[in-house]
Structures are given as C-alpha cells and as structure tokens.
C-alpha cells in the first residue's frame, strides 16, 4: 500500500490527458494525492479526478489556481468561493477527499499519518526585493511584464481581494490543523509551496508574488509534517526545511516535460518513505 502524488496535470493539453488516462496504481490499495492545477474548466476537472478516483483506493485533492479560474468559455460561470464550493460538492459526491472533508488517516506500518489537503491561496507576501506593500510589489511586477493570468481569471468573490480570501483560508485552515491529534504526524498537501525557498529559482522572480504566503512558513514544524507535497512551480524537485522534505510533484505543460531527460515524471511515492 502506497501514498502516491502528482500535481499540475493541466488536462487541457491532449498529451497530458493521455498521461492521466494511463495513470494506474501499483496496487489496489494505493492512495493518490493530486496537488492542484488539474485543469481549468469544470468538466475537465471532474473528468480527470473522477477517472483517477475509479482506479485508486482514495484520491485526495487540493485545488490549484487553475481550478479557481472562471474561463470565459466555461459553461460553469461561478466565481471565487462559489466556484470552489461547487467543485468541492461535486468532487465529494464522487468520493474524492477535499480540503473541506475530514482529513484521512493513512494506516502506515510505522503508525498512522494524517493526510491534510489544504487550500490557502497566496497573499502577495513573496515580494520582490525592495518592495514592502502589495501595491508596490505588483507595480514592480507589471513593469517587468510579469503578471499572472490569475489577475484576470481568478476572482476572489465574495472577498474584496485574493489576499483577503487567503487570510480567511489561513484562519480556517489553522483551526482545522490545530484540531488534529497532536500525537499524529502529518503529510501537508498544498498547491502552492508552504515556504518561499523553492521560488528562489524562478526564471521570473516577480512571479513569486502568485506562489504562496509567508504565513505558512513554519507549518511543516508546527503541524508535525513528515513530508510536504506541493506543485504550481512546474519545477519538480525535493528540498529539505528543518529536516522535512518538501516535494514538488508537478507534471507541467507538455513543452516543459518533453524537455526533461525522463519524460514525463509520473507518480511520486510519498509513503512509505523508505
Ligand atoms: Fe500548474
Ligand atoms: Fe498553479
């Protein structure tokens, strides 16, 4: 029995859709973590997670920014929190575990581990050097010509801003994590990195603004993580913070994975660790 992980499936691309169709567990008991950016349209997201849910004993999902877009051509035109809530209800009906559900407990040979899918968004605190406010940081990014599509398609309704939505999600998520039995270790799953470190290698450093929040910098310690799983950057690798592996598990766009020596990356084993 294994806990496997992947993110950034981006099934809008035919090649990526074919990869999802080919994903299989190694045994009937395997669980799969999907750390966001499955797709953009409602139907695509439900198709991909529904397909995977038929094959794996359990599928655990955390939303990416792409799931929260309202693309003009999607028949589902819900925005912001309403879109997220509609996704949660639809996926939950399929049996997929969402950040709004009870956190599943992995029955590992070394003892139980709580698998916690999170949705905390970002709040523009991963700022370019020399900037100290959201406005100042966004000005610098605009001048550099680096502006995430989220600014046009990820609506924060009913919150006044994406950072306000992030603040609400942080407070809700902290209260959920605080209630986990303190005797249990966790695997924290979030689309965005929980620490800023992995964004230091971005080709366009200003893009870090749309990549996380300083508010989660100590969560891997505070919440006893044995592994953190994230995606979003499309830079698959593992870094260690305070002895805790933070694993970026993205597939990414075909133009990205085609260039890798072993393409595509496939599923990453999270548990057992050895
Ligand atoms: Fe992505
Ligand atoms: Fe993303």
For residue 32, the 8-state DSSP code is E
Between the CA of 122 and the centroid of ligand 2 the distance, in Å, is: 11
DSSP assignment string, 56-124: SSEEEE---TGGG---TT-S----HHHHHHHHHHHHHHHT-B-TTSPPPEEEETTEEEEEEEE-----S
Between the CA of 271 and the centroid of ligand 1 the distance, in Å, is: 23
Cβ neighbours of residue 197 closer than 8 Å, sequence gap 6 or more: 239, 241, 246
> By the 8 A CB rule, do 13 and 21 touch?
no
Q: pLDDT tens for residues 52-69?
A: 999 999 999 999 999 999
Between the CA of 225 and the centroid of ligand 2 the distance, in Å, is: 22
Q: Which ligand is nearest to the CA of 212?
A: 2
Between the CA of 232 and the centroid of ligand 2 the distance, in Å, is: 4
Q: Which ligand is nearest to the CA of 62?
A: 2
Between the CA of 111 and the centroid of ligand 2 the distance, in Å, is: 32
> By the 8 A CB rule, do 192 and 212 touch?
yes
* Dist. CA 143–CA 177, nearest whole Å: 39
Phi-psi region of 130 (alpha: psi -120 to 50; beta: other; left: phi over 0): left
Structure tokens at 83: 């879109």
- pLDDT (tens place) for every residue of the chain, 274 residues total: 999 999 999 999 999 999 999 999 999 999 999 999 999 999 999 999 999 999 999 999 999 999 999 999 999 999 999 999 999 999 999 999 999 999 999 998 889 999 999 999 999 999 999 999 999 999 999 999 999 999 999 999 999 999 999 999 999 999 999 999 999 999 999 999 999 999 999 999 999 999 999 999 999 999 999 999 999 999 999 999 999 999 999 999 999 999 887 767 689 999 998 7
Between the CA of 181 and the centroid of ligand 1 the distance, in Å, is: 32
pLDDT of residue 263: 67
Structure tokens at 8: 């950034």
* Dist. CA 39–CA 153, nearest whole Å: 13
pLDDT of residue 34: 98
> By the 8 A CB rule, do 117 and 99 touch?
yes
Structure tokens at 92: 């939950």
Structure tokens at 171: 């407070």
Between the CA of 38 and the centroid of ligand 2 the distance, in Å, is: 9
Whichever domain contains 157, its CATH number is: 3.60.21.10
For residue 182, the 8-state DSSP code is T
The number of distinct structural domains making up the chain is 1
pLDDT of residue 265: 64
Between the CA of 198 and the centroid of ligand 1 the distance, in Å, is: 15
Listed residue (272, 222, 274) closest to 112, CA to CA: 272
Cβ neighbours of residue 52 closer than 8 Å, sequence gap 6 or more: 20, 23, 32, 34, 59
pLDDT of residue 149: 98
**Containing domain of residue 189, as a range?**
3-271
* Dist. CA 4–CA 272, nearest whole Å: 9
* Dist. CA 252–CA 222, nearest whole Å: 30
For residue 128, the 8-state DSSP code is P
Cβ neighbours, 10 Å, residue 105: 14
């Amino acid at each position: 029995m294994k806990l496997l992980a992947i993110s950034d499936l981006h099934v809008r691309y035919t090649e990526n859709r074919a990869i999802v169709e080919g994903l299989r567990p190694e045994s009937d008991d395997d669980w799969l973590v999907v750390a966001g950016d499955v797709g953009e349209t409602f139907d695509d997201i439900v198709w991909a997670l529904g397909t995977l849910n038929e094959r794996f004993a359990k599928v655990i999902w955390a939303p990416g920014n792409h799931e929260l877009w309202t693309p003009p051509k999607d028949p589902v035109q819900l925005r912001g929190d309403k879109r997220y809530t509609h996704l949660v209800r639809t996926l939950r009906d399929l049996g997929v575990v969402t950040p709004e559900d009870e956190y599943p407990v992995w029955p590992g040979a070394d003892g139980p581990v709580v698998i916690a899918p999170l949705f905390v968004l970002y709040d523009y605190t991963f700022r370019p050097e020399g900037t100290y406010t959201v406005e100042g940081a966004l000005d610098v990014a605009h001048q550099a010509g680096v502006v995430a599509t989220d600014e046009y398609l990820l609506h924060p309704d009913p919150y006044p801003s994406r950072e306000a939505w992030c603040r609400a999600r942080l407070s809700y998520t902290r209260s959920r994590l605080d209630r986990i039995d303190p005797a249990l270790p966790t695997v924290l799953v979030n689309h965005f990195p929980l620490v800023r470190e992995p964004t230091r290698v971005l080709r366009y450093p200003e893009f870090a603004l749309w990549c996380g929040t300083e508010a989660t910098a100590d969560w891997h310690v505070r919440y006893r993580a044995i592994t953190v799983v994230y995606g979003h950057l499309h830079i698959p690798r593992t870094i260690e913070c305070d002895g805790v592996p933070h694993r970026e598990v993205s597939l990414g766009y075909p133009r990205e994975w085609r260039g890798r020596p072993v393409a595509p990356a496939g599923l990453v084993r999270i548990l057992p660790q050895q």
